Structure 1
């Protein structure tokens, strides 16, 4: 009798050991609600004998298991960490789950602040690099929009992810995560992360806006924004009486500047009107200048130009100046931009003998005047200045792409392969 009872207990204990357990994991059904679901798992054998089977109907007695409990802890042991407060189109950013204790399962997403017509969460961007114990989930058929753990019998801790921002302005976004500890889950999120308008989009180039971009010969023929080292986007405002100019380029330090010129003399650059974007430490400044000819310094112009928006991407040292200019002159000093003009695009260097502006002149930053005590700014070698193929006013929309051969010495003749596409679209009437 005792022996039979012992055998029965042993067999019963073995059957319990081999039965699948109910644990919380994240599935596609969690994409919108961020609520985990109970699944059946058993890890007595390598890989889990029962795998993961979602529990759909456990009956009324197990109803509490089907609907997991959300934690009421307002100070959870884990949080989301980002080192950026704005996202830029197409750029990679780091997001981390930081915790002071272990957790069991998670789902991570980047969400827009608005929901789509189906009332589902708006998932933005894509995750490019994830930990080895994680996997992608294509929530709402959006590729790599979410990340979950693989469902292993391990304790999870700090994790780092690389997220790629969308190529367009989605508006404010935030990262959200749902994390399981035991039989409870908690939802955490970041503060809103706003969109940085720079780099300016190439959308509409040649049809709605005028664009020029400069890339190296090794860049793709489309010269995408991440390959650009200089670019200009010019558009008209709604009333068509001003041009909005976004001028950007690489300026590794205070000895570099980028410039955009307008003029009638393509050969000698006589009386070229020049807008210059430059750095002073981490500040971005804008100046307005005039040339006597291609061999002269640039002299401060009597007509000021106000810097409306600026940006410095410290990761790439790319600076931006955005400003507006009236098409029709408002004073006797203003250039008439309604007439056909050549466009000139260039970058320059400064050194001890060729500094920025004469003593007593001013630069403008965010409509705030700052005094600059440097001396003057000089043009680069004329072969480094690219000009538009023909004169054009702002009723003519065109798009230029220049591929610069950076291997040529600065003192040698610069080789330029110019892929120029002129799309004459008389879309605006000035």
Structure 2
């Protein structure tokens, strides 16, 4: 028996058998058609992924092996109209959306969009989006990080998004992923032309929605300085090489927010041009660290620590709360990127007969030119979910028809 991670390739043209076991290879799970009956013969009702692997029902396939297999898109392709298929498949996909990667399979109705837009979303926009990059931001000291104040889970579900959660969240038995796993928020979007400020891919936003906290985020930048251990240093240094920390008047910036140890107190309001870490050499040379020209904010934490090599260092984290301004870039989950072109007052926005005012107004000409009808289907499905209150599925290749989505709105 070979391990499940070993890949065996039989090349008839080269008359050789290649066995691949190196690390870093891409493997994906497929159902073995000849072993599907083992599922029915299993005594246990609960079948874990590992048990299916051990019984040979699921097999991890590499790119070399996949060339010799005939893979069906789903179980229904294994049976034709008369109950038998003319093609003898060897393997079958667990779900049709598993043809895509993790980022692509999170996009709702990805099979309705242009492939270039789905690649934009999965490669660029998903990595640039603001959410919670980590689950322990309070104890981390990153050089630069962005965090969204109120990340939200989408209204719909996909097969891949369900795998991100775990049972028991919010006291429910179903697998629901946490909101922190997602980037962005749910907004009320109107497809309309508004004063010409949303031509092509520009957006018009409701100023009152931004004042209520929509898309508000915090920008955290950390400044780091090494601290020399004078007790463990045996070499005699020159006066210009000995650096001391302290509140020393500097010619390059203001030191009003520094304590006597040269570090600002937690909660200090620093502006552009202030000194964030004060230090000076015995020779009188100023080695203070100054805020960058565009940086300002409140001191969140001051950390004194050491690394694995035994070097001591000090880190000061600066937090700045940011709200969307003109020129900020936004994008939907379908690669529909746009720039904020105008902030409109709520009383000047269109509204429905129920009095609902949109948060964002997008130009209708943005859909046919970028070939993203999937965003229209997502908007229609989201409106139906908001009105009815039931969870709906938007997994690529296996979702409801367009007629079923439109019928729920009537």
Provide the TM-score with structure 2 as the length reference. Answer: 0.27
Provide the TM-score with structure 1 as the length reference. Answer: 0.26
Decide which structure has greater helix share. Answer: 2
Higher relative contact order structure (alpha carbons within 8 Å, sequence separation ≥ 6): 2
